[in-house]
Amino acid sequence: MDDFNDIEDTGSTGDLDATDQLPVFSDGEDTLPLCYICEESCDSFDATGLTTGVYPADSVVTDKQLWAKTAWNRHYRLILFHSRKRICRLSGISCMNDNDIDFHTRQAPWDKTTVIVRPESGSSRRQDLLATALQFEAKVQGTKDRLMCLLVHARCWQLLCTHRAWSLSEGDIKVLMRALLRKGPLSRDPRLYSVYGLNVGCSSLPCTFDDGDPFRCKRVEVIIRRARQRAGRRFKSTQKHQEPIHLNLLPLEVLLLIAGFLSPADAAVVQKAVGLYLGDSYWRSKVPEIFHEVREISSETLDWGFLCCELNQLEAAEDDDLDSRRYVIGKLD
């Protein structure tokens, strides 16, 4: 793997030939692959209930069809690489079908902005849009002569993009690939290299992992929506005349220094007591890092004090809705 330093994070389908993408059968053993981020399996399922087709990765249709009707941990991306042809890139999104467990090769759209829902069987449509790559776990002598891949859950990848690992790597796919190889399941279990079957160990995931999307939390979405509705109310608690207290005599800068040592709930009490709003910037700074959703709305006008207090309560409650997110972030850390 030392020659990965020379791989460009580019490549096109024109660089590949037929031998680069030959399917590799698993000799009758099921091969549920492991995600290189959360280190758990990418489950297979019967895709006949889904409408096959090609979708933009960020489309509403895709979100409803893939994430609502089926478990999130059945959808994946591939980190595609071919060291001799200087290819290293991220694939689009595909889903694990029942028939896929008969192969050591995985298929996903070459274009990272695309989702392809493949038919369960019996169709060669859209093959020209798909890359077929051998899982790195199943490497054998001479695999440098073909396209290979590391598999990650699509949602785990989205969470990685909000993690400090993404900013530290500056989104360099080669840096991220090397990091995943160093920390991933293969670094601890050499049996996973076997071409005769991939071993999936006992899960250490929380019991709600299959149901809990690590990237999207409906409880958080509801809290954000309520904070937007309360945007005009964030100053109301500071407009009533309060009895004079010593804190009223302090400059705002000093109040903010004091509030920095307080919990959000205590800071809200101080804010009400002095009749002075501590500011959107202060409340944004107190939101727990686990809630990546807040970064996307940081410029919006909403009740940041309410949002901060509610999210801190949600985190402190150790709600099941966040179990999967905590688990994946723990792996990334």
Buried-exposed string 54-72: b where 16+ CB fall within 10 A, e elsewhere? ebebeeeebeebbbeebeb
- Chain segment 95-154, per-residue pLDDT in tens: 888 888 888 889 999 988 888 887 776 555 667 788 999 988 877 655 668 899 999 999
The DSSP H or E segment spanning 151 is: strand 148-153
> Any long-range contacts for 165-171 (C-beta under 8 Å, 24+ apart)?
165/332
- Which has more pLDDT, 154 or 41? 154
- Which has more pLDDT, 90 or 5? 90
**Cβ 77 vs Cβ 154: under 8 Å:** yes
* Rounded Cα–Cα distance for residues 89 and 81 (Å): 7
C-alpha dist (Å) from residue 19 to 62, 77, 229: 32, 22, 57
- Chain segment 276-298, per-residue pLDDT in tens: 788 888 899 999 999 999 999 99
* Rounded Cα–Cα distance for residues 30 and 58 (Å): 31
- Chain segment 314-332, per-residue pLDDT in tens: 998 876 778 889 999 998 9
- Chain segment 204-251, per-residue pLDDT in tens: 444 445 557 888 888 999 999 999 998 877 655 555 545 656 666 677
* Rounded Cα–Cα distance for residues 18 and 301 (Å): 54
**Cβ 312 vs Cβ 286: under 8 Å:** yes
Residue type, 184: G
> Any idea what DSSP says for residue 67?
I
> Any idea what DSSP says for residue 65?
I
- Chain segment 59-85, per-residue pLDDT in tens: 655 565 666 545 688 889 999 998 788
Q: What is the pTM of this model?
A: 0.82
